[in-house]
Every structure is written in C-alpha cells, then in structure tokens.
C-alpha cells in the first residue's frame, strides 16, 4: 500500500539522575562526595533508506521513543548513556514540526540523517557542587527530559520526469511501454489511484526515472478528484511529459486545463519544460485530429509528438527527448533543501508569567521548567539552589512585580510551589 503522509510522535530519552553519595571506606574518615553523573538520554534521528518508497510503516506505529540514560552510581561511576533511535524513511521525505508547520529538513540522499529530538543531559552528581565553602554538598541533579515533537512526514517522490494528463489519457500504458513497471491498466477514468515509478533504460547505461501521477481534473489543486493528494510528487521532477487523449472530446481544452491546475498548485510547475505526447494514434479519430493540433501546439511554442502507447509507437522518441531536456536543465536545490536541517534553539533564558486564577500563577520558560524537572525537591540544598536560579533569571522579581502574595500557588511545569517571602 502506498502511503505518502504520516504524523508521528517522537520522544528523546531522559538523562539519568546524578547521585548524591559520599565515599565510605575503612580508616578513611572523610572520603568526600563521590556520586556519579547520570548518562545522557538517546536522541532520535530520521535516516534515509533508499530501499523504502513509502511511509507505510507509520500507518500502525506512530509513537517512537529513544532509550533513557542510566542513573549515576557510587565511586564517581557515570551512568550508561541511552542508545540513539534511528528511524528509516524513504528518500524524498519532507519533515515538518507540528503544530507550527515548520520545515525541519528535506531528506533526499541515501544515508542522510536528521536529528529531530535531542536526548536529555544526564544529571550531575554531588562532586560537581563541592567548593571550598561546601566540601560535603548534599545536592545532586535529576536528568533533564529529552525533547518531544509531533512531526508530519510528507513524501515527494524523487523522479526525473513526471507523466501528467487527464484521466484515461494513457499515462499508465505509456509507463508500461517504456519501463518495466506494471501499473494497473483499465479502460475507465481514475484507474491509477496512487503514483507509480518506472525506470527507462537508454543507451550507454543511462537511465531516467518516470513518475505516473493519477489523472488531474478541473479543481485538482483544491482537492477535487485524486490529483490534489499527489500533485506534490511532480514538484521534484525537472521535465514533464504531458499525455493527451487523442480520442477525447477536446484535447486542446484538456491541455489548457491541466496546465492551469499545475500553475494554481505551484507556479513553478507551469514553468517546467514539457513534451507533449498526443496519444492513441492507433485510433482513426486521433489520426484525423493530429495535423491541425500539431500546428496549434507549434504556434504556442510546445513540442508535440504523435504516439500510440498501446502499440508502443513513438514512445522511445519521447523518452530520448525528455532525457535531452534533463541534460539541459540540471537539478537545483528545492525550497525545503535550502532550509537548515535543524532550526536554532530559542533563547532558553526567556520566560513568561500568567495569572491562571485567584492566587494561582504560571511560569513558562524552557530553562526554568527544565531546572524544576531536574531538582531533587526532597533535598534542602537542591531547593535552595533552585531559588537562586529564580533570582538569577529574574523570575523572582518579576513575580513580585506582577503582584504575587504570601501563600499564592506558583506552577512551573508539572510542579506546584507555595510562595513564601
């Protein structure tokens, strides 16, 4: 089953907790702090696998999580870092971060990787908090939570040439005539319900990849028919072969209508080089129309060829002309490929304060929420350290300026703290 869109949830591993521990050994009265650091959580990567051509594996499995880091141990033993999770995707996958719909990356080359969620840092053990004034710190850190994202994966097939045309124009028959592909072929519209790929072999071991796109009708750019779901698959192609049904009521009108739909969906599609294949020359009505239509296309500046995909007449000439146009139009970067593969992180020190009710406040901010998550609330020194972080970031003063009162509830992440001056 062909699947070209999927939404998945991914979570990186949480860092392991740092340990609060002191060295104990016979005849060693003051061994000092020796709590180990927690291991880092595993990150989540997407990696291109050229053996895949669909997003079908994400139809039933939509949640992925990397391994957590292990907790630190005694004698300064660092916990084991969690294993990274690598998720294979087909070439041509565009990755979007929801709900902001921001493109994170465009994965094209085999083996290309994109990090989509970074693992949490391991918590520090109590030796990190030792100083000349506090040689026996009773404080450590919990591991930082890993990043979590909701992603939309969109597959844009990577093909050199796109076959476009109205339903029943003979695109699937043409693909079968010039490649080893075996698409479903039947004498009724919308036989093709999903894109088909085929590889055409030319001389000197040269090959080109053709994509058969389901028939387009008027309104395809806005969701009518099947075309809207698959129009994006021809965005990567460099040349279009436009098949016309020689037995249709008005082939010239079909030609104009398809080009209008391409331009409405993406103006760049209208500007791609096109080779017109006037199909079904095995029928008398098509042969009668061909001379006048050939002149009309010549006036409009288009190359037109007479073919019979069913009898495989004239099909090779079309393919060789498309290959020549490919050489004249080398590939350029796509809009997605020009974007950085990983967006810069926001300012971690920024925060906001909201009033959620009478005597209830909410503090939001990446750094302060992470600090709250990494605090051992049962350790007095850890709580004091968290209060210092509030002061350094300016949150303490900001809450006072906002009107917080004695006994008010302050929520930071999933933690609720009582304000006490």
Residues 81 and 179 in one domain: no
pLDDT band of 299, cuts 50, 70, 90: confident
341 part of a folded domain: no
Please report the DSSP string for 265-296 in residue order.
Answer: H-HHHHTS-EEEEEE-TTSHHHHHHHHHHHHH
Residues 233 and 266 in one domain: yes
Residues 290 and 205 in one domain: yes
Residue 213, pLDDT > 90, answer: no
- The CATH code of the domain that includes 215 is 3.40.50.300
Query: Range of 19's domain?
Result: 1-155
Identify whether the C-beta of residue 39 lies closer than 8 Å to the C-beta of residue 69: yes
Q: How far apart are CA 32 and CA 279, in angstroms?
A: 86
Residues 239 and 277 in one domain: yes
pLDDT in tens, 43-95: 999 999 988 878 888 988 999 999 999 999 999 999 999 999 999 998 889 99
Residues 256 and 289 in one domain: yes
Residue 253 CA, distance from chain mean position? 38
Distances from the Cα of 304 to the Cαs of 85, 163, 300, in angstroms?
51, 14, 11
Nearest CA to 126 among 360, 376, 337, 339? 376
135 part of a folded domain: yes
Cα-based angle 271, 276, 282 (whole degrees, multiple of 5): 165
Higher pLDDT, 204 or 226: 204
- DSSP structural state of residue 65: E
Q: How far apart are CA 236 and CA 160, in angstroms?
A: 8
pTM for the full predicted model: 0.72
What six digits make up the tokens of 24? 């104990």
Higher pLDDT, 315 or 206: 315
Strands 207-212 and 239-245 turn out to be unpaired
Strand order in the sheet with 113-117: 85-89, 44-48, 113-117
pLDDT of residue 38: 95
SS3 state of residue 337: coil
**Percent over 70 (pLDDT), the chain:** 87
Q: Which residues pair with 360 in a beta bridge?
A: 357, 409
Residue 334, pLDDT > 60, answer: no
> Where does a domain end: 295, 312, 328?
328
pLDDT of residue 332: 61
Handedness of CA 58, 59, 61, 63 (dihedral sign): positive
Q: Please, what is the angle between helix 380-393 and helix 395-402, to 10°?
A: 70
pLDDT of residue 340: 43
Higher pLDDT, 393 or 213: 393
pLDDT band of 344, cuts 50, 70, 90: very low
Residue 234 CA, distance from chain mean position? 18
In the chain, count H helices and then E strands: 9, 18
Other C-beta atoms closer than 10 Å to the C-beta of 157 total 25
SS3 state of residue 156: coil
pLDDT in tens, 177-198: 888 656 555 454 444 446 777 8
**Percent over 90 (pLDDT), the chain:** 43
338 part of a folded domain: no
Residues 98 and 197 in one domain: no
Mean residue pLDDT across the chain: 84
pLDDT of residue 357: 86
Residues 186 and 239 in one domain: yes
343 part of a folded domain: no
Identify whether the C-beta of residue 119 lies closer than 8 Å to the C-beta of residue 43: yes
pLDDT of residue 44: 96
Nearest CA to 120 among 141, 140, 142, 144? 144
Nearest CA to 386 among 128, 147, 143, 140? 140
pLDDT band of 342, cuts 50, 70, 90: very low
How many domains is the chain partitioned into structurally?
A: 3
Identify whether the C-beta of residue 148 lies closer than 8 Å to the C-beta of residue 169: no
pLDDT of residue 229: 58
Residues 320 and 184 in one domain: yes
> Where does a domain end: 127, 155, 183?
155
Residue 343, pLDDT > 50, answer: no
- The CATH code of the domain that includes 77 is 2.70.210.12
> Where does a domain end: 155, 172, 203?
155
pLDDT in tens, 134-172: 888 999 999 999 999 999 998 887 788 888 888 878 888
Residue 373 CA, distance from chain mean position? 28
pLDDT of residue 148: 94
């Amino acid at each position: 089953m062909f699947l070209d869109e999927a939404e998945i949830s991914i979570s990186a591993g949480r860092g392991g907790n740092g340990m609060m521990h002191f060295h104990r050994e016979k005849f060693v009265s003051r061994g000092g702090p020796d709590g180990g650091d927690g291991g880092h959580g595993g990150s989540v990567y997407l990696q291109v696998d050229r053996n895949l051509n669909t997003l079908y594996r994400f139809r039933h499995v939509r949640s992925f999580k990397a391994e957590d880091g292990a907790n630190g141990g005694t004698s300064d033993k660092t916990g084991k870092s969690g294993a990274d999770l690598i998720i294979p995707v087909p070439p041509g996958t565009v990755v979007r971060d929801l709900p902001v719909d921001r493109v994170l990356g465009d994965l094209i080359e085999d083996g290309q990787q994109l990090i989509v969620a970074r693992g949490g840092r391991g918590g520090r053990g109590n030796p990190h908090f030792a100083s000349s004034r506090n040689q026996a710190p009773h404080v450590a850190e919990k591991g930082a939570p890993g990043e979590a994202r909701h992603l939309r994966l969109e597959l844009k097939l990577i093909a050199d040439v796109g076959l476009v045309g109205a339903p029943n124009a003979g695109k699937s028959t043409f693909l079968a005539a010039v490649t080893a592909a075996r698409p479903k072929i039947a004498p009724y519209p919308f036989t093709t319900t999903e894109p088909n790929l085929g590889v055409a072999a030319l001389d000197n071991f040269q090959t080109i990849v053709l994509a058969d796109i389901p028939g387009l009708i008027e309104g395809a750019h806005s969701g009518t028919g099947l075309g809207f779901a698959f129009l994006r698959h021809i965005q990567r192609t460099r040349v279009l072969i436009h098949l016309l049904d020689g037995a249709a009521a008005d082939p010239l009108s079909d030609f104009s209508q398809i080009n209008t739909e391409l331009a409405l969906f993406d103006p760049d599609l209208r500007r791609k080089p096109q080779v017109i294949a006037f199909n079904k020359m095995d029928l008398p009505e098509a042969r009668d129309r061909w001379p006048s239509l050939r002149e009309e296309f010549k006036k409009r500046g288009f190359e037109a060829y007479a073919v019979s995909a069913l009898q495989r007449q004239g099909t090779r000439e079309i393919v060789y002309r498309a290959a020549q146009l490919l050489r004249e139009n080398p590939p350029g970067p796509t809009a997605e490929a020009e974007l950085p593969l990983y967006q810069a992180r926001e300012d971690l020190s920024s925060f906001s304060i909201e009033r959620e009710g009478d005597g209830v406040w909410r503090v939001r901010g990446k750094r302060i929420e992470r600090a709250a998550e990494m605090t051992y609330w049962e350790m007095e020194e850890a709580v004091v350290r968290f209060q210092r972080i509030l002061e350094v970031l300016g949150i303490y003063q900001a809450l006072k300026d906002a009107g917080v009162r004695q006994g008010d509830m302050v929520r930071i992440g999933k933690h609720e703290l009582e304000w006490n001056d």
